[in-house]
Each structure stands twice: as C-alpha cells, then as structure tokens.
Structure 1
C-alpha cells in the first residue's frame, strides 16, 4: 500500500521511508522530516470562508461541517454537525454537512491506536508513531465505534475558534469587549443589536484564531426521555429528507456522460483464479461493450448492467485453485483446531490465578458460531473515470484512503493522481472496509477507456466479501461456595480474522496471502470482550489461531458478537444450576460495575421481569464495551419469546442503555433498535454454509432475516450520565443473541450452544 508524498523535490514512499531509514536514529530523523500539517479538503465557494479546516460559513449564513466519516445509515453526519453547531451557536436550520475526501487533518487516531498491532514490524511501538502513521496516511477509517472519540474535540475546537473570531469581528464593529457579546441561533448578540454570521465572515476570517480555543462549559448533549415518552428531537437528521424523497445519492446512483455498466464474477472459495470462459457465446450481444479479464475475476461491460450480467452467464467462467470449499471440510478444519486447543492456545490476558482453580470439577461448555455475512442492503458499487492520467473514483468506503491507494496501484498511477469522491453507503456492517471493488472498477475503466460503473450482484457480494469467521469457544468456570464463579477461562478457537483484514487493508494483500501472513499468530481483537464484566477474581483468556480455507473479516459487533454470547449463556446456566433468579444472580456479581448494574436493574423493570420461570419465554443478558480507558457503553436487555405460527417468535425486547453523555437521542435510539434487530437476525436466521465454494444462502430471502411482521415490540430507555460519550452502534448487536437464547431456554427447557440458534 505504498503511497507517494512530496518532500521538497524528493518523492519518497512510506514503505521506502521505513525500510530505508538508517539504524540508530535514522528512523527518528525520517519521521521528523515527515510533513506535520495537512491541508483540509473542505473548500469554500467564492464569498464563503473556511474556519480551521472544519467549517465553511457563507454570506447567506449557511454553516457547512466537514464529514470525514462514511455515512452508512448510522447518522454520523448529523451527530458531527450537531457537535459543531452547538459549540458554534448556529441555527440548526442553516447547518449542512459535506463528506470530505481523506486527509491527514481528519485522521482517526483512536482507531489507529486500536489497530496499531496490525502494523507490527512497520512502526515503533508508541502512540506518537501511530499518530504520525494515521496522519501521513490519511487514515480516516470508519469502524469500531470510534467516530465520537476521534472527532468530538477537534470539531468543538474548530467551532469554538470560529465563534471567537465572529464575536471579535462583531465586538469591534460595536466598539465593545467580546466578553459582552453572546452567540446563539446564528447570531452574535449585544443587547438589542445582532449580526448574522453571514454578515461577519469576511471580517472574522482576518482575525488570528485563538489559542487555546475557548470551549463552552458544556458540549452537545440531550437529556434521555424516560420510558416510552415521545418528544420532538431538537436536531433531526440532516440526511432524512433526501432519503425519504429519493434524491439522496448513493454510490450506485452516479451517472456520467458516456458511462457504461459492468457486472463481475469472482471465483468460489478455494478456487480464486480464472481458468477459462467462452467469450464467443456472448459475441454479438446487443449492447455488449467489452469483456475484461483479470487473474482473479471476469467482468462484462455493456450499455446496461442487465446486459452485462446476462453476458457473463452465457460465458460461464470457470475458476481454479486448491479446491472448492465444502461445509464439512470447513467444520473439520475448525474441529481439528479445537481438538488441539490445549496445545495451541496462546494466553492473551490473565487475572489472578485461574489455572490453579480450574481443575477437574470445573464446569466446561463448548459453543459454536457459524460464519455470517454482513449483508448490507446496498451491494458493492463504484464508478470510475480514467482520462488524461487522472482517475476519478466515486465510492462508499470505510477506509477511503486505502481504497484510493489500491485503485492507484491497480492502474499504475500515483496516489495524487486519483480523486476520490466519498459517497454514502446503504448499510455496511464493515463490509466496506474491503476495497476489492475499488481495484476492479479502476482496472475495468482503464481497459474500456470510458467511465464505468461496477455493481456486484447480491450473490457476488456474498461471494467476495470475507464473512465473519466461524468460531468455537470453550468456556470453563470454577464455582465457589455461594454458587458463583470464582475462576473463568475463555478459550476461543478462530482464525486471526482481524490480522487478515489488516493485511488486506494496510498491505494490499489478496485474501489468500493475508491468510498465510496471519496463520498461527494470536489476535487480541478476536477475543475482545471475553473477560466477563462480573466480579470474578481469576480469569484467563486464550486464543487458538485456527487455519481454515475461508478468508474472514470484521463484522458489526466485532468479537463481542460471540464473546458476549458465550459469557451470558453460561452465566445464565450457572444461575439456573444454583437455583437463583438469573437477574439477581447477575446483580450479586456486579459490585465493581455499578453502571452496568443500574442498567440491568432498570431493564428488568422496563421489561416487567418475572423471574424467568419455566415456560415463561423470558431471558436477560448484559454487555459492556470499552474504547480505551475512559469511554464505555453498557446495555442490559430483557427478551420475551412466544410460540407462534411457524415457530418461535420474539415478542418484545426491552433494553436500558448507558452510553455516557448522549449527543443525539433519536440517533442513539435508532442505533440501539437497529442493532437489536441485526443481532436478532444473527440469532434466528439461517447459518451461512458453503457448497462447491459458493456461500449458501445467496439471497436475502434465503437468510431468514426478520421482516416487518417479525419485528418485536421494542422498549428502549437511556440512563442519564455525564461520562464520556460512547458510540451505541454495536451494543444492541452483541446483547440480542444471548438475551434471546436465554429466553429460548426459559420457553423450551432446551439450551442452545450454537449461533444461529435455530437450524
């Protein structure tokens, strides 16, 4: 993923910089020479002015906020704009957002720190070098709930700086002290006099920015609304009107003069390389423009996508490789690793002395997690135009600079010769961390010499995006005198899927190469969340790196999508064995986690908990997610199941959430509700399998996802808190499956140790 930067008259790539730096200080000198300031790609129109690279204020009073994160349905543009608007004192009716291309100015430092171990061997092991890497590589990736942590303070500082400059401009006109002025609703106010922002920008931009920026005492926040009460939000979503009326443009909506359309076929799992196809069978098709072949795929280009896809069907491409993946082989590979787990396990975390307590009397349970597809509503789509040595790329990407780098390399250009237009995504769930379609569309555009739009079919999206890995978990617990665990060991058997994703993302490896480079290496993010949130003094967490034939990657919720399932299902079973109410059993172990205990207490009240008696269909689960040392999110969920036509039906999900200070209550609620439904689909949908290398099912309809008729009644409540804000997007995902599994046991008396729960 080498990219070029200009350093005076010397062009030097990051890889050459790191490899060529001399020992004994050369690397430090090289890093010190690297540029420290990065230009903002946010450009003002004539007459408008830019403030701190984050805001543009126009003469018409419109305030435009830079949006460096991918909008994929989570509402991040609105949340970031709200942070800036509150700090600035803007009128929400005059606030707009503008997605910006990647820039070192907008580097996502918390995510770079979280993923820094993926750069082993590239960087010195310290925060300074990680930050420098993130900035010099315009690492603005959107993932793992890091947007608030990354961008709230920079946005507040930029808005506070602009507010101060506007205030000084107005104060000088009135010949008063700036401290005598107020800023609110898009005006600078002194007594009965006021100036709109637009009337001040020309003067304000001439003032020196304050250092430090004068932040308001209270950042953006909204009070939670108790229970089921309804209230109009103060900051409605900025993207909602265009999404409702259909004018919102996604990656697949781009239209360029002379544009053609491409469909593509990738090899099945285990057969990655194109072997043969019959081009003559598509010869003469009306509207067919070109056939483009690569080592790993075949594409048809036509006047419409439908014609291109029909041409591929006629040509019947065949692929070759080590051998097509079959489901029984995949299961055997994971089972082989599980059988060798005691020998291959690598200790990731230890608390106390668990090994001395986990003897022959320990309770041991085996859990199995099937692979799962991210399945966003919008499949991978990108548009490219290559002309005059410049490539333009319209794409929805969670890691846009990596996509731009990969596209540039694919057609032999430097990174500076590629213009990336960031587009919103119709969902992602981390599927758009992958950048394969950026490479493909660039190569196709170079081959046909016309603007081209590539769209993957649903089957190809399932085929080409690495799914969540299959996982086996062996959880052992030693029980004390009061029936509660005193020692705990989580031994997780899984491929090192985050290391794989890192090799694809940072080093531009093909999936098979990423697997080889990751083989046998323990991966801390594969076991994230495996330490229970309860007061258990002796804990061990181990990873057994499994070698399987399936490329794998990250999915919404990360490892906690399964580690929470392991923990909460076994804790529920231990409560039953001790003859205790599962709610009270958990509460007795949450003395060191008061925020989670409060969420659990309130959730059982909200969900009308009645002890989960046999046949009740009532279950509970809790989850805690952390980001660094400060921010944390807590959720407790009560699920109610019933028997219905066609099987088990989730009747109600009641959740209480503590995400610290709430920036936008409506969006937080939407994220929790959406996460619960996503987790419900993972719990009750059909498992992903493989036949002759092809994923099964290959359609939305075949996945058994919940529809409108299956959507349960949802009761969501939030805890008022002044703690650091936490992104709520993944909390609902991780807690839904164990709550439903525990409710299923209460309903049927049978406990499932597998996900999905229903075959």
Structure 2
C-alpha cells in the first residue's frame, strides 16, 4: 500500500504533508488534537485514503471518508462520514466510509470522556466528533474552492458548491471534485474555519435527511457483511480456550492426552488465563476444549473472587449502605442533603437491587492474529470498540510499540461494552506468538460467560426529605457496588480519587429541581471483572431513581406524571418528552386488567420518557409487557430512522434486562453457562413499540444508551399501579414477583 509521508512538530501535530506525484486522487488529512485543527493533503498512486487522512477524493469522484469508530449496529459508520460530507458538500452517492486506523493523535475523540482517545463507547461518537468533523469537511471544501479560484482566476467569493461540484454562477462554469483533484496544490496551512463559517441547519442536505439509510445495512441483509468471525487468512489455524473461572485463577492440573487424541487437535497450551487448544478446525478445538474441561483443575489461592457468592454477599451490601463508617465518596452534590434530612418533617426511605448482567452479544468473542517471525510486529483482524487499546495491549505482549501493530477493524456482531476490554486480543496474540502461526481464537459461549465482564451487582439506599408543606426538599442516593472504573478505566479511577464514573453514572439528577441532593458510592471489592454494559451506570441507577420518584409521588398523593412535570419545571426538554409520551399513551385512559407505568431517562444530555402497559399472571408471576411508548430528544438528529432504531433496540435490551437476565456467582465463578440457563428476551414476549422524536435546538447528544433507561423503572411502576406492590429488585423474574405479590 502506498502511504503519504508526514512531518510533525515536536508535540506530534501534523504540520505539513508532502505533495506526491501520482494518478490516484486527492487526500485531505485533518488532525483533531486539543481542539486545534491542522491539515494537509497529498496526491498519491492509491485511490484509498492514506493512514493519517480523513478524506480522499479520487479522480473518478469517489470520496472516501475515514470513520474513527467501530460499527456494532449503532450506525456511526454512516453518521460520522455524513457529518463531514455535509460540510464538504459531497455527493452522498459517491461517498464510501473506511475505518480509520488506531491513531488517536489524529482520529481521537475530543469529548471530555475520552479526551482525545479513540474508542467506541458511551454514546459519545456523534456528540464528540460533530463539530470537528464539520470543520474538517469545511476545510476540505475550502481547499477545493481555492484551487478552482486560482485556476480560473476568479475571486473565491464568486464560487459556490453543489454536490461534489464547484460552481462559478456568473460564467456558468462547473467542475467536479474529481477533476479538481488533478491540479489542486497544497496550501502552506490549512484554511482557518470557525464554527460561524459552518452551514446553518436550515441549509443541511444530508444531516437529518430521512431518505438516507445506514450504509452497513444492505450488506447485512444480503449476507456479504464481514464480521471478525468471518475472517480467513492464509496458513491460519484455530484455537479455543478453556477460560479460567475467575480473575487470577490459573490451571493447576491439565491432563491433555484425551484432547490430543482428537483428530485435528495440534497442541494444548496451559497459559495464565486458561488452557488453549490449537487445531486445524473449529470443531476439533471445541472438542479438545470439552475434553480438557472434565479433568482440568484450577489454582484459586490468592484470588479475591474465590470466596464471593452473590447471594450470600447481599447482607453485607445492605449493611455497608447504612454503615456511617463506610466512607462513601461523593458523586453529585447540590445544597446540603444531610441537613435537609435531619430537619425534615417526614423522611421517605426505600432500597433497590440489581444483579450482575452479561452482555449477551450475538457474535462470539473472536480475533485473528499473526505475529511476525521477529516477534516485534503483528497484524490483527478483530471487531473491537477500542482499536488503539488493542494495539497497546498487543505491543505490550510483544515488547514492541503500538505503531508495529496493524489492526484491521471488522464489523461487530454486538458490543454493548463487551468489546471494550482487550482480553480477546491479548489471548490471541499470546497464542499466535507461542505457535508461530496465524491463529483464529473463537471463544465458545460457555467460555465467554465464564470470562464474563458483567455489569456489577448493586444495592441502592434512597432517602428523601419532605417539609411541612409536603414539598420534596432533600434527596440522598447511596450505591454499594464494585467499582467499574477501577477495572475498565484505571487512570480515571486514580485521577478521580477512587470515584466510579461508569458505575455511578445516572445518580445525578440536575434536571429535577430538588434543592438538596447527595449522590454517593461505597466500593465493594469482590474480585469480579465488572465492565460497562449498555446503559452504563444509568442502566441500574435510573431504575432506583425513577422507581423512587414514583414512591414519592404516592407519598405526596400526586400523579406520577404530575410529579415529574412539577420537578422539571426548569428543564423544558424533559417536560417536552414527558408531555409527548403521555399524549401517545393516553396516560389517563383506564385499562381493564392492565396498568401503565412511567419513567424519565436522561443520559449525557439526551432526554427520553417511556410508558409501558403491563399485565400480570399472578399464578405464574410472569409480567407481560403489551406496549411501550417512547419519546426522545437527542438534540439535532443526524439520521432520523437510526435514532428510532437505536431507541427501539435499547428498549428491547432494557426489557430483557428488566425481566429475565441475571448472572449468579458462587465461589467466584459464574453459575450460568449458555442461553439455556441465561435466557434473553424471546420474540413471543416482544411488545408493540411506539416511538417519537421530540425536536429541540440542542446539539446532538447521542442515542446508544438512552432507550434502555426508562424500561425497567416504568415496568416496576406499572406493577405498583396494578397490584399495589413494589418490585424493587432486577430482574423482575416470575419467582421474585411471586414472592412480593403473595
């Protein structure tokens, strides 16, 4: 592959890109770093973008735009190129997205959560890249127009653009971008573009255009889409891993003779994370893994998790929630919650539980790795949410540098946070380096569950203070759980003094006008490999928050909708989604044998409100959700249908978590092993889902998580309306429901 050459300033910013003679196309490189935009372009013999480029314009008018995130069904493979193409004034039919390489110095996300890192998580791709990619597109457009102004000897002010075309209206001349690529030359510096120079929303052609679908969908429909599990490379062998049952456990005794007797099994490798079986086919490695499972024993001495039982630990979690010596750390504060509780006319108190949950991504975890003979470089084929982390991990294993690791990003068959962790990359590189062959590691569902990175088990103690007029004047929310940041984001964990940004996300309630609020956390250390899961911390925290709001509405003798409208008088966007969803569901209409429940969701500035209609089979304890109504204000809508798709998908995910999904832990190991004992939502249990976008003038705020949040609390609140009993423990399984209502 031909690549362009770069010169860099000492701080690593791109300063200038050489002009190379060739017949390929025109490449623009716009680097995003610390809020500064520096740029350059090149002509090359390759019609594809060079590794540090954002845009390539081919002589055939093809426009390749780099996408700095992975695609796991959330739609950024379309949305991000579309944002840049809008300002470039590109002909969308000529745009082709390409995955950007793992180079955060160029492709990093400036959103505060990542601060220049390159990863796909937390619904921050569109909010983080929105302005920067618009500026990058506007700069590329300006360079094209400058080149035409110089060639035609006309003022720049007389030029305009149509899709992929520069126009000189007074002379009637037009020229396609591909033609301009043949003669454009590099300015000494990239054009200065401010936000004021960008298109006003009323001139958008692409952003918000309902006729534009997701670019990844056709290949997924016709079967040509390639996921990581589809990758084949010459000389490749296969691997399975019998995973260690908990963090830190190592194989103690491995009897490999039976596995090696299986046709196609080439090698058995005891490793720190388990036992790998290498073979010529997937079937052989799977059979070898099963043979090992019977006789392999594990050394769990010194592991924290080995004494953890999720059921037996519950009394301790509850004690720590009430223990004044527990030393909680604050997450969100407003006013003086302690004083308001001490002086309250009445205190309302409640508690809530959520269990460990598995990501349940459809595509099994997999990776292909080929380590060079000198063990100083490698090539990876994987669908990952953290491409740069993947190269850092691989480089660390090989004792080399990340630039020596080439990563080929693949479509992901579901991520939901599971593909943030780089454990599959680490394991594959270790195996490939040991056997000196390209290897494809595929974890069985059993091993993926054994090595689960679950959402933590959480306990919530909620307290509220009412004054003598019955007004809500104080709010105290304490969560007891393992710390997700400690495992998933250690630098942030340290920088924040041990606070858990991921696990405590959603405890803050700035949109509710409660004058005195304290949200805080107590850390449990139980040895579980907890990680983010779709919904982030808001997935469990909004369950506690929104159920508690309904409990307070009952205590104040208020309608739950009226209660929320009263609390959100200072937040018009929250009011708008609440009013819209109430209208959709006909909130006041009585239901025979059914009831409605309401919840409000907020995540990083996106507001959603949900209402569910439920019935209950009291003899079986099974909850049936018949209909879901959801409204959302995600700020500026980039792709209308994808916003609704993400909202619906989040609702399905949230429904499954609310009613069914639960991992149990005994002696540090996950009890469940596959979907036979970890069921997920079935099609027969799907309700009708009705969605509506509520428009506002806010900037785009992200869609990947928000659909999850209102579902569980709305179901619990509906059951209270139906039975007068409260379900404060997720999941609301039939067994748990029967225990409460009988």
Same fold (TM over 0.5): yes
In the TM superposition, what whole-angstrom CA distance separates every residue of 1:376-416 from its partner, at most 9, and x where no partner exists?
11121100111233311112222211211111222333323
Aligned to 2:41: none
Structure 2 CA distance for aligned equivalents of residues 658 and 665 of structure 1: 12
1:22-171 equivalence runs, <5 A: 34-37=11-14, 47-52=24-29, 53-111=53-111, 113-114=112-113, 134=116, 139-171=117-149
Structure 2 CA distance for aligned equivalents of residues 55 and 172 of structure 1: 22
Instruction: After TM superposition, give the deviation of residue 700 of structure 1 in Å.
Output: 2.9
Cα distance, 1:523–1:213 mapped onto 2, change above 3 Å: same
Aligned to 2:177: 197
**Alignment of 1:358 onto 2:345:** no
Bigger shift: residues 159-168 or 465-474 = 159-168
**Alignment of 1:331 onto 2:314:** yes
Q: CA RMSD in A?
A: 3.0
Aligned mate of 2:261, from 284, 290, 296: 284
**Alignment of 1:739 onto 2:719:** no
1:147-296 equivalence runs, <5 A: 147-191=125-169, 192-208=172-188, 210-213=190-193, 215-218=197-200, 233-269=210-246, 272-296=249-273
Aligned to 2:411: 424
Contact 1:341 1:493 in 2 (8 A): no
Aligned mate of 2:392, from 405, 426, 430: 405
Instruction: After TM superposition, give the deviation of residue 692 of structure 1 in Å.
Output: 4.9
Structure 1 CA distance for aligned equivalents of residues 28 and 61 of structure 2: 14
Structure 2 CA distance for aligned equivalents of residues 319 and 234 of structure 1: 56
Bigger shift: residues 559-568 or 474-483 = 474-483
**Alignment of 1:586 onto 2:564:** yes
**Alignment of 1:637 onto 2:610:** yes
Instruction: After TM superposition, give the deviation of residue 70 of structure 1 in Å.
Output: 1.3
Aligned to 1:629: none
Cα distance, 1:296–1:149 mapped onto 2, change above 3 Å: same
Contact 1:572 1:582 in 2 (8 A): yes
Contact 2:86 2:204 in 1 (8 A): no
Contact 1:491 1:543 in 2 (8 A): yes
SS of residue in 1 equivalent to 2:419: helix
**Alignment of 1:684 onto 2:655:** no
**Alignment of 1:483 onto 2:466:** no
SS of residue in 1 equivalent to 2:166: strand
Structure 2 CA distance for aligned equivalents of residues 612 and 366 of structure 1: 29
State the aligned residue count: 687
Cα distance, 1:99–1:219 mapped onto 2, change above 3 Å: farther
Structure 2 CA distance for aligned equivalents of residues 224 and 733 of structure 1: 28
Structure 2 CA distance for aligned equivalents of residues 38 and 306 of structure 1: 52
Aligned to 1:318: 297
Structure 1 CA distance for aligned equivalents of residues 716 and 23 of structure 2: 59
Aligned to 1:17: none
Cα distance, 1:478–1:518 mapped onto 2, change above 3 Å: same
Contact 1:251 1:394 in 2 (8 A): yes
SS of residue in 1 equivalent to 2:362: coil
1:359-378 equivalence runs, <5 A: 359=342, 361-378=346-363
1:359-758 equivalence runs, <5 A: 359=342, 361-389=346-374, 390-503=377-490, 521-532=498-509, 533-610=511-588, 616-626=594-604, 632-643=605-616, 647-758=622-733
Structure 2 CA distance for aligned equivalents of residues 212 and 615 of structure 1: 64
In the TM superposition, what whole-angstrom CA distance separates every residue of 1:541-581 from its partner, at most 9, and x where no partner exists?
12111122322111121111122111110111121232221
Structure 1 CA distance for aligned equivalents of residues 558 and 245 of structure 2: 49
Bigger shift: residues 694-703 or 79-88 = 694-703
Contact 1:266 1:272 in 2 (8 A): no
Cα distance, 1:220–1:427 mapped onto 2, change above 3 Å: farther
Cα distance, 1:212–1:356 mapped onto 2, change above 3 Å: same
Structure 2 CA distance for aligned equivalents of residues 205 and 757 of structure 1: 64
Cα distance, 1:234–1:416 mapped onto 2, change above 3 Å: same
Instruction: After TM superposition, give the deviation of residue 492 of structure 1 in Å.
Output: 1.0
Cα distance, 1:216–1:270 mapped onto 2, change above 3 Å: closer
Cα distance, 1:33–1:84 mapped onto 2, change above 3 Å: closer
Cα distance, 1:46–1:395 mapped onto 2, change above 3 Å: farther
Contact 1:487 1:539 in 2 (8 A): yes
Structure 2 CA distance for aligned equivalents of residues 221 and 295 of structure 1: 58
Bigger shift: residues 234-243 or 707-716 = 707-716
In the TM superposition, what whole-angstrom CA distance separates every residue of 1:481-527 from its partner, at most 9, and x where no partner exists?
45342100001111111122123xx69xxxxxx9xx99993434432
In the TM superposition, what whole-angstrom CA distance separates every residue of 1:329-363 from its partner, at most 9, and x where no partner exists?
44355345335365332333322122112138411
Contact 1:261 1:303 in 2 (8 A): yes
Cα distance, 1:167–1:598 mapped onto 2, change above 3 Å: same
Structure 2 CA distance for aligned equivalents of residues 44 and 461 of structure 1: 50
Structure 1 CA distance for aligned equivalents of residues 147 and 728 of structure 2: 66
Structure 1 CA distance for aligned equivalents of residues 185 and 616 of structure 2: 65
With the length of structure 1 as denominator, give the TM-score of the two structures: 0.85
SS of residue in 2 equivalent to 1:703: coil
SS of residue in 1 equivalent to 2:14: coil
In the TM superposition, what whole-angstrom CA distance separates every residue of 1:46-70 from its partner, at most 9, and x where no partner exists?
5122112210111111111101111
